[in-house]
Structure formats: structure tokens, C-alpha cells
Amino acid sequence: MNCEVCQLKELEVEHFEIREVLRCILHTIVFHRALGLVRPKDVDLELFEITYVQCGDMELEKKIDEKIEQFISWVEKHPNKKSQICLSFFEVKNKQAKWFTPKTERLQWEQWYINLNVAQHPKAHSGKSHNSKVVIDPGESALEERMARRAVLEASLHEVLFQIIKFVNEKKDHVPPIPNLEGVVWFPHEITIPSSSDSAFGMDMIKRMLQTGHPTMLS
Amino acid sequence: MASSHGNSHSEAAKMEQIITEFYAKSLHIILESRTPYMSSRNYSGEQALSSPSSSSSSSSSVRPRDKWFNLALRECPAALENLDLWRQSHLEPLVVDVILVQRPLDCEPVKCSPKRDLVRNLSLKERYPYCCNYEQEEFGCEAKSEKIIERWVVQYDSRKIRDTNSGSRRLSSNTLHSLYKKSMLLLRSLYVTVRLLPAYKVYRDLNSSGQIRPFALTHRVASFAEPFTCREEAAMQRFGFTPVDTACGRLCLSVLYCSSLSDVSSESSTPMSPQLIPDYVGSPLTDPLKRFPSLPVTGSVAHAFPPSSSFSRRHSWSFDHYRASPPSVSFSPSPTYSEPHALISNQSSRFPPTIMPPHPPETSLVYKKDTSFDEYSPAFSPSPSSASPSLPIFIPGSHHSKPLLQSESAPFSERTAKLANSPAFCNKLNLPLRGIGSGSSKTDKTGGFMEAGTAVEKFSSLGKDDARQYSEVKISSSSSSRSFPDDLDDSDFPCPFDVDDEDVTDPGSRPESFGKNVPLCEPHVPGGLFPIKKSQDAAVGALVRMLRKAPPLRQDNSNSVKFCPEIWGNSSQEPNQPFKGQASVQRDDSSSVISSGLITSKTTTVALEELQSYREMKNLLLGQGNFLLNFGSPSMDSQPLN
């Protein structure tokens, strides 16, 4: 089975923007992979003039939020690092039981890489200068700067969303048949965030790729 | 979905059904996010927010339509309508044009942004004609500018030649499954895309609040596309979804869209800015405003009223520079008297009785007086200092009143005549013309016009000539050493709003009840606000004064009486029927007062006060309901004093 990989455009975000950006992207992807009966829910981002779509499932929302929180805490421990979040979809296949191996295996058929570059300086800036010298002038200029940056990010996020749409449009053959099970709304998936040690994360990914076969195409 | 029947015929039929449903779903998705009606979006949002319950409930209530492509959408009547039409033309291309309808902003009641006001000031005269055009167009259904901002095309390209043969052969449940899955994916990305395009912001703006926008979205569904001009096409971007191949053709979906709706959005954003609009429009008469969006739909004059009145009021007091003119219009008690009468008489003579109630003049006079009175008596104004814009306005106005009034009166009559004559008038009027709309059928409106702020605005909307006259009037008034407008702009303007807010909420019933009771109530509302806001002591004082000074009412009673029944009869639909009776009583008083005033030739001041007091009474009565009866009779008794 093909495993399609989509590398999304890197986004420069500030710390406080991570949550919204990730929610927007992750939900948009999952919505495209939710082929069960879905009652879509529109969500307006607070920081950006963007409306994205959720599946309207509380559990899914919770799961995604948890992962995002984990990611945020990871970012706090690893400032100034580019980071990657992987959302992968897989099929679960039964295989012959052997010692020390699970009875099921995951066959990944799609991976989405969300690339974030979390800018730390604004946060530090606000943290320090905020309290000590809340000077008006710098504040204003900083505000302008921030607005400009925000606009750029909004445009980039928009771009990423269209990247997702295009990918979904172009790559349809690898998507497994719609699950027939009642109540199954989306394909099984997993969100991988960098774990506490980078190497482990990398190893994990490599291992997984070896397990599931390699990506045939990079988009 | 496709069962493995293996019967190629049924498979083909299934495929066709999938395609048909794909069309339907596409149309539904597009229109659902492009046709603002009610607050569908909010509704869905709520539904979604309470997802646990809603999802469960929704799952239980899954409609067959929702099951298609496993995508449950909310109801979209527009889509259903068009779909029915489209189904008849089987598998024809489906072209959905999303059209942005823009009305000139200046004509909009909501147009309150400071920028706009500035503009208005600068080119006041020019603006007026513009407004007039707009109005006329509105009436004639021509004026608005329409622009296609999105063109969605859904079509099925069938490969005719070999597909009939090989297609059937190749059709299998597998391909059907694949087709279904791919169209599902396509529809999901359509669903997301529709929300990312610029037009969605327009839709969201339209739906996000009850505020009126100078633009609207509409749509056109057809099986063919009117070609764009090169220029139009150049301004648009295309996004093509990857077609879904079927056994014998392919499903195509694409959109041409305007990549920038900056003009619209910027326009809209300005008025929408939270600071300006909410204060201006939303706060004082929340309910009417909310009703607004529905107004155009209903088109009923009566409905138009309450909001319009509220709008007019706001305009006059706060932002509008027109309001400079309002004072001029309203102010002079004595001159007004004679002249309005003359005007009215003229009008009445022109108009058939049904259109023009015999005593419109009185009513108008009353209104004028009331408003002026508010300004007049410090006792009423909560903040005597500078807070009440009314004070400066009216006082100066009274001095200048004669010339101004004359000029006004003439235009006024003309205007009313025009209005009454134009059939479209009623429909279109609702927003801008509020008072007028009712006036078209009844002369009362004229009274409403006379009122300070409101009057001016209305006029502006009414006719070019009239508007010009008004503007002239305004200018003259301002030139006549009126400091008023400035004051308003600076500090005063917020104040009235606050007051208004209270008023609105308090009498609560008033806006609604009166709004519907078209003619009579409407005029009252604007004036009424001021009295209400005043302190109770002041009100009491006013009452006492009124009682003391109450003029004889008899003379015009007969007329007034006639008048009232008509009006109220019309408004009989209203839930507020109790008010009707009261209102009519008051009406009699006021009218009689006016007439008496004329006859007795009181001084301006006295007349103003009287009128004011009656106004006040009326408002109080209206607001308090039963209260009315008690006061109504005493006032009548006390009339002989003068």
C-alpha cells in the first residue's frame, strides 16, 4: 500500500499561536479523512480571519487538543527549535500472532507533516519588557510589527490549508475504502509529536516507516 | 453504497444517481455558506457547540439527504429550491453565481462610520442626490450594483463515444465504490474551500450580527454561464478541483472567484467596527435592529417603521451631519404652526383622502413641538449642561425657525406627495425612510418628518430636490451661528445614546408595539425617547405644567378623531391593542392642542411647552400602559386653562 506523504509548508508561529494554528490544520486534515457520517462544524479562529471545519466530534476534538498541549509543553522545553508534528493515517491489519509482537499491525497509508518554527523571542520580549518597562512607543511599534507578522502568518496558514485541499484532491487513490462499520467516522490515525528526546522521535519515525513501508511520494 | 448486484444496468443507474446527488450536494454546500438567511450560521454553530447532545440528537434525526456522501448539512431552502429546478434538466452543468449586491453606503441607515460622515459633510449636496438615486433605484429595484464574485461550475463530462460500450462493461461495484469515495472526498474539500474563499467573509459578516450591511449576497443558479467580460475574468482566480473519473466520464468542479473583495470588506469593516456601530445602531434599539435584516424580506411598511425611527433618531443626534438640519426643521414652535398647517392643507388637498388624513398637520406639529420642547425645557434634559445636544439645537432653531421652516415646509409637502404617489415607495422605504413609509399611506408621517433629526435624514433619502433643500436648510442653520453640530460630534453624541438605550429598554414595549402600529406610534418614538430619559421629577414637573397650561382641545377634535381611528384600525394587527386606544386619546389631545395653539396664537414658548408636555404625557402613558387612562382624562380637563 502506498503511503502518501504531505509536507506542509513551514509556519512561523509565536508561542501563543501554536494552539490555534495546529487545531486548524489538524482538524482540516482529519475532516478530509472522515468519511463516515459527519455533521461538520465551522470554527472561526480567534487570531486569524479563517474559518475551518471540524468533524463535530467531541472526542476527536479532545484528543487533538491533548496532543497540542503536549506539543506546546515540548516546545517550552525546547525553545528555538523547528518542530514537526506528524498526523498519520493507518489501517489496522491482523497478522499472525508471534512472540513479542502485537497481533495487529498498522499499515500507514498517509502522513502529514506539519512544520512549525516557533519564534521564542516575542514571548521573552513580552515577558520581560512588559513588566519592567511598559514603554508606550516600543509597545506601539511592537504592536505594529506583531500585526504585520500576524497577517503574514494568516496568509501562510491560508496557504497551508489550500495545500491540504489540493493534496486531498490530487491523491485519492491511496485512500482505503470507506469503513463500513457503523459509527466509524474517520480512519484510524495518530498524531505524533516530538518526544522528550529528539533522537527517540527520529528513531520512532524511522522505525515506523520501516514497519509500514516507505513513502512513495513526497509532495 | 453500491451493492454487488453485478447488474450493469443497475450499476449505471446507481452511478447516475451518485452523480445527481453529487450535484445536489455541491449546490447545497455552496449555497449553504453563501445565502445568509436568519442566522443560520449561528444556529449551526450552536448546534455544533453542543456537539454531544446535538450530535446524538442529530444522529437520531439523520435525513436521507444527509446520508449521501455521509455529509450532514443544515437546511438550506435556497439549495432545495434550486435543486428542484435543476433536477429537471438532467445532468446539465450546474452554474452557481454568487452575486454581491452593493448599495451605496451613504443611503444606508447604518452608515454611521465617522469617515463616512466626514465625507458627507464635505460633499453634502452631492451626497444627497446620490442617496436619492439610491432610493429611487431601490424603489425601482434597479439601483444596486451587482457583481459576480464567485462562479461555481459543476459538470459531468461524459465520454460519449466509447463509454456507452466500455462503460457499462467496466462498471462494477468497485468503480462505484471508488467513485463514491472520491466524490465524498471532493465534497469535503469543497466544504472546506467554500469557507476559505473571500466571499465567505462577506457571508459571515452578513450573518454574524443583526446589523445592516450596505451589501448583500444573492445567487443565481443556471445550467449555463453568462460569459464574463475579459476584464471581469481577469480579476478572478480559478480553483479547479481535481475531477473525479467515472467509468464513462468525469465529474468536474471548479470555481472562479474574486480574490479580493477588499472594497466590500473594507467598507463593511468600517461600519462594523465595534466602537462605532454598536453604539450607534445596536445599543439603543436592539430589537428593531435585529429585525432589520428581515425587513427587506417582509417589505411591510409597518415593520419598517420601528427600526427606521430608531435609525433616524440616532442619525440625528449622533453622527449625522444632517442633524444640523434637523434642528432647523423642528425648532420653531410658532412659525411651525401656521406653516405646517398651510403645508398640510396643501397636501391634503392634493391627495385623496385615504392617503392623506385630514389632520396630518396637527400631528406633525405635535411632534415638532415635542422634540423642540425637550430641548427647550432644561428640566427635562437629564444633563442640562452640554450633555443634551437638543438644547443648543432647538433654541437656536427657534430663532431661525421662520425662514427655515418655510423652506422646509415646501419641500416637505412635495416630498410627501412624491412618496405617496410612488407605489414602490412603501416597499423600499423601510429602512431609510421609516417615517415616510408610513407616511405614504398616512399624513402622519409628515409629522414624523418634522421632527428634528429624523426629519432631515428621511428627507435626504426621499428626493434629490428635497434633499438639497434640506441640506441648504441645514447649511443656513449652521451658518446662523449654530454650534450645535460640533458639540454633538465631540462629547454629546455618546450621551444621547446612553440615554436612548435606557429608554429603549425601559419602555421596551414601545419600540415593538409602536413600531408595528405604523403611523402614529412611529412619530412618537423619537420624541418619546427624550422625555423618558429625563428624570422623574422633571417628568412630574412637566406634567404639572402641562396640566396648568393645557390648551382647549375641542376645535380640531373631530378631525383628530377621524384620524386616529384610521390609523389604529390599520395597526389592529398589533398585539399592543390596549395602546391603541390610549394613543388615540393622546392623539386627540395633541392635535387639539395644536389647533388650539394656532387659534389662540400663543407665544412660541408656551406652545412649545404645551406640546412638549403633551408629548411627554403621551410617552409616559405609552410606556406605562394603564397609566394612560388616568392621565389622559385629566389633561383634557385641564385644557381650558389656556
Q: Does residue B124 carry a pLDDT above 90?
A: no
Q: Is residue A133 part of a domain?
A: no
Put simply, whether A28 touches B (Cβ < 8 Å) is yes
Chain B partners within 8 Å of A169 (Cβ): 185-186, 189, 241-242
Chain B residue with minimum CA distance to A59: B52
Contact A41 B51 (CB under 8 A): yes
Structure confidence by residue, pLDDT tens digits, B388-404: 333 333 333 334 333 33
Q: Does residue B370 carry a pLDDT above 50?
A: no
Contact A58 B51 (CB under 8 A): yes
| C-alpha closest to that of B282 among B265, B301, B304, B307 | B307
Structure confidence by residue, pLDDT tens digits, B594-613: 444 444 455 777 878 888 88
Does residue B348 share a domain with residue B232? no
Q: Does residue B328 carry a pLDDT above 60?
A: no
CA distance readout (Å), B143 to A61, B130, B134, B260, B559:
47, 11, 6, 23, 40
Substitution target in A38, A55, A171 with the highest count of B β-carbons within 10 Å is A38
**Cα B452 to the center of its chain, rounded Å:** 20
Chain B partners within 8 Å of A157 (Cβ): none
User: For residue A31, what is its C-alpha cell?
Assistant: 475532516
Domain containing residue A103: 4-120+149-218
Q: Is residue A142 part of a domain?
A: no
Give me the mean pLDDT over the B115-124 stretch: 35
Q: How many domains does chain A have?
A: 1
Q: Which of residues 60-119 of A touch B (CB under 8 A)?
A: 61
Contact A169 B191 (CB under 8 A): no
| Residue B283 burial by Cβ neighbours in a 10 Å radius (0-12, 13-18, 19+) | middle
Q: Is residue B117 part of a domain?
A: no
Q: What is the pLDDT of residue A113?
A: 92
Q: Is residue B122 part of a domain?
A: no
- Please give the DSSP secondary-structure letter assigned to residue B491: I
For A57, the closest of B55, B242, B244 (CB atoms) is B55
Chain B partners within 8 Å of A54 (Cβ): 48
Does residue B295 share a domain with residue B264? no
Contact B192 A165 (CB under 8 A): yes
Chain A residue with minimum CA distance to B241: A169
Q: Is residue B357 part of a domain?
A: yes
Q: Does residue B262 carry a pLDDT above 80?
A: no
Does residue B635 share a domain with residue B528? yes
Contact B200 A51 (CB under 8 A): yes
| C-alpha closest to that of B423 among B299, B292, B296 | B299
Domain containing residue B607: 289-641
Contact A39 B52 (CB under 8 A): no
Q: Is residue A214 part of a domain?
A: yes
Q: Is residue B392 part of a domain?
A: yes
Does residue B43 share a domain with residue B83? yes
Does residue B216 share a domain with residue B318? no
Q: What is the pLDDT of residue A204?
A: 56
d(CA B635, CA B612): 13
Distance in Å, alpha carbon of B74 to nearest chain A alpha carbon: 9
Q: How many domains does chain B have?
A: 2
Put simply, whether A59 touches B (Cβ < 8 Å) is no
Does residue B488 share a domain with residue B419? yes
Q: What is the pLDDT of residue B636?
A: 42
Do residues B564 and B587 lie in contact, with contact meaning Cβ atoms separated by under 8 Å? yes
Put simply, whether A174 touches B (Cβ < 8 Å) is no
Chain A residue with minimum CA distance to B208: A44
Q: Is residue A130 part of a domain?
A: no
Distance in Å, alpha carbon of B55 to nearest chain A alpha carbon: 8
Q: What is the pLDDT of residue A68?
A: 92
Give me the mean pLDDT over the B428-438 stretch: 35
Chain A residue with minimum CA distance to B186: A169
Give me the mean pLDDT over the B561-589 stretch: 39
CATH for A46: 3.30.900
Q: What SS3 class is residue B75?
A: coil
CATH for B47: 3.30.900.10
Put simply, whether A177 touches B (Cβ < 8 Å) is yes
Contact A35 B67 (CB under 8 A): no
Does residue B338 share a domain with residue B224? no
Chain A partners within 8 Å of B66 (Cβ): 37, 39
Does residue B305 share a domain with residue B257? no
Distance in Å, alpha carbon of A124 to nearest chain B alpha carbon: 31
Q: Is residue A194 part of a domain?
A: yes
Put simply, whether A37 touches B (Cβ < 8 Å) is yes
Q: Is residue B159 part of a domain?
A: yes
Structure confidence by residue, pLDDT tens digits, B519-545: 333 333 333 334 444 466 777 777 777
Contact B192 A44 (CB under 8 A): no
User: Residue-wise pLDDT tens for chain A (219 aa)?
Assistant: 678 899 999 998 888 888 999 999 999 999 998 888 888 888 888 888 899 998 888 888 999 999 999 998 888 887 777 888 999 988 887 776 666 666 777 888 899 999 988 886 544 444 444 444 444 556 677 888 888 888 899 999 999 999 999 999 988 888 888 766 666 677 888 888 887 555 445 555 555 555 555 444 444
Chain A residue with minimum CA distance to B200: A51
d(CA B190, CA B272): 29
Do residues B591 and B363 lie in contact, with contact meaning Cβ atoms separated by under 8 Å? yes
Distance in Å, alpha carbon of A123 to nearest chain B alpha carbon: 28
**Higher per-residue pLDDT: B364 or B247:** B247
Contact A165 B72 (CB under 8 A): no
| Residue B345 burial by Cβ neighbours in a 10 Å radius (0-12, 13-18, 19+) | middle
Q: Is residue A166 part of a domain?
A: yes
Residue in the block written with cell 496532543: A67
